[in-house]
Structure 1
Amino acid sequence: MLRDIQIFFANTETLSNEQQQHLFDSLPVTQKNKASGLKSKKKKREFVVGRTLLIHALQSEKNLQNLPLILEEAFAAPRVDSLDNYYVSISHSGFIVCCVLHKFPIGIDIEYKKNRKDLIHKSDFFMSHEELETLKAMVEVERKHYFYEVWCAKEALFKALDSETQKQTSLKSIQLSRCSEGDGWSVFQSDMNNHHLSLVYRGGECQIQLIAVEL
């Protein structure tokens, strides 16, 4: 029987300043302090909603009576104190913010699917030679989907790597084919509200649930 991984997501498009302030007021002190230091209104909103989703995930999945300390890491996902065997990943793009917890390494990435010109040129920073050749061979209507599918999956896998491995890894060097050849990684892909979402994780295949959270 497949285990479940729950992806909690929220749409911030209609989130008012008053609602955001309410979410901010509900955050632990550490998260309030970090949010207050963010100058960009967009980044502050994404941070507040992302940490709100993390708290929701902890309460939903762990049924915790008391919220553990959420430790903020520099240039990495937050870490939950006393839950060292759980991994956290958060992503945001456009108006969508999402968060996931897992007992094994995991990474999530979501990207708003813009209508980009010259996808071949814009793919050079993350696609391998073989992937670029695949993109070039596609008809125009197929290229956009492949572009975001590969980009998001590579970003998700990069996030799932430990910090030392990340230092030695570029998006271009990541071989997604390894995920389907028994290398221990599983991949989930989904399109939602003109966004593409990719989830990459260890621990065997799981049943993925997308759960919308009302803010």
Structure 2
Amino acid sequence: MYSAVIWLVDGSGWSNQMLSPWLACLTVEEQLRYTRFIRPLRQREFLIGRVLLRFAIARLGSVAFSDVSIATAETGAPVAIVPRWPATKGDRPHISLSHSRGWVACAVSADTTIGLDIELPDPDRDFPALAAVAFGVSESKWLSRQPEAVRTAEFYKLWCAKEALFKLSSNVNSQLTQFERNNEGINEGINEGMSERMSERMSEPVNDGSKETSDQEGHLYAIPHQQLFACLCSTHPLAAPSLIELAGDSPYAWSQYADRHLPDGMPSAL
């Protein structure tokens, strides 16, 4: 069975000054990109995301944190570069990154391409206007039929589903030469209404409480969290995805926390 792990960090209360030592972990190209962000929040999310990716990949492959670099594909998706990646962990790590209002999450897998999205609800968001722009006609109609008491939650579920599927498509595009022809359907784009169908069918819980549904373009998992909406999409069916919300303000502190809270069978070396 294929597997994936989601690592989550709440960086909403951290200052850029507190995180400034982390810049030493980044490449020169990443540091330049960091300086181009105008808003401090986006700088913080970018920096946390790049460090979190290195942390997650190092743990997945039991390699040194310093052995992991992050490049950017033509699609804009982050790509892991790990010269000492162990052959027993597949040909390369598969990764996906998401952020929302100070929260940052990354998903990693050794054996299947993935796409992740998280959304922290924003009470000031104009849902009807955004739905009209972002959703197809059938999706907007489906959303309008939902009871008012749950319409906001259904909006975020649908939004997360579309974003996760889009990121999966981007990651497949950046790695297409690695895939068999039967996965090319993902490369052709996301069919209108697919995420709507998935949202409607997210009703069967798997072991950890997450909900899974599938379509020809991928397998989508709604990941439960008290504050966030989160969706993970993969090209292959997964065992129940693990979500670990980290505590601490450094990769070392994350590692110490993770060692105490790891599900059975997950690697413990940073």
Q: Which TM bucket (shorter chain)?
A: 0.7 to 0.9
Partner of 1:97: 104
Shift of 1:174: 5.3
Task: Describe the superposition over 1:56-105 as per-residue Cα deviations: whole angstroms up to 9, x where unpaired.
Answer: 10111111135133212355222122566332211101121011122322
Aligned residue for 1:206, secondary structure, equals coil
Partner of 1:54: 53
C-alpha contact 1:110 1:198 (8 A) present in aligned 2: yes
CA–CA separation in structure 1 for the residues paired with 2:18 and 2:126: 39
CA–CA separation in structure 2 for the residues paired with 1:181 and 1:58: 26
Partner of 2:15: 16
Q: Which amino acid is 1:38 matched to?
A: F
Aligned residue for 2:133, secondary structure, equals coil
Shift of 1:117: 6.6
Q: Which has the higher contact order (CA 8 A, sep 6+)?
A: 1
Unaligned runs of 5+ in 2: 86-90, 175-184, 199-211, 250-270
Aligned residue for 1:141, secondary structure, equals helix
Q: Which amino acid is 1:26 matched to?
A: C
Shift of 1:47: 0.8
Aligned residue for 1:115, secondary structure, equals coil
Partner of 1:25: 24
- Pair 1:184–1:118, CA change in 2 (3 A): closer
Partner of 2:178: none
Unaligned runs of 5+ in 1: none
CA–CA separation in structure 2 for the residues paired with 1:25 and 1:85: 24
C-alpha contact 1:185 1:201 (8 A) present in aligned 2: yes
Partner of 2:223: 190
Residue identity over aligned pairs, in percent, reads: 22
Partner of 1:173: 192
TM-score by length of 1: 0.84
Shift of 1:55: 0.8
Partner of 1:77: 77
CA–CA separation in structure 2 for the residues paired with 1:68 and 1:189: 29
Q: Which amino acid is 1:138 matched to?
A: Q
Higher fraction of strand: 1
Does 2:153 align with 1:145?
yes
Task: Describe the superposition over 1:160-210 as per-residue Cα deviations: whole angstroms up to 9, x where unpaired.
Answer: 11348899646x725123794552622111353532111111222222111
Map 1:124-139 → 2, pairs under 5 A? 124-139=132-147
Partner of 2:63: 64
CA–CA separation in structure 2 for the residues paired with 1:138 and 1:75: 34
Aligned CA RMSD, in angstroms, stands at 2.8
C-alpha contact 1:85 1:104 (8 A) present in aligned 2: no
Does 2:214 align with 1:207?
no
Task: Describe the superposition over 1:111-158 as per-residue Cα deviations: whole angstroms up to 9, x where unpaired.
Answer: 121225763343122333332222222221110011010111111100
Aligned residue for 2:134, secondary structure, equals coil
CA–CA separation in structure 1 for the residues paired with 2:126 and 2:186: 28
TM-score by length of 2: 0.68
Partner of 2:163: 155
- Pair 1:104–1:32, CA change in 2 (3 A): same
Aligned residue for 2:232, secondary structure, equals strand
Shift of 1:13: 1.9
C-alpha contact 1:184 1:204 (8 A) present in aligned 2: no
CA–CA separation in structure 1 for the residues paired with 2:194 and 2:105: 25
C-alpha contact 1:156 1:198 (8 A) present in aligned 2: yes
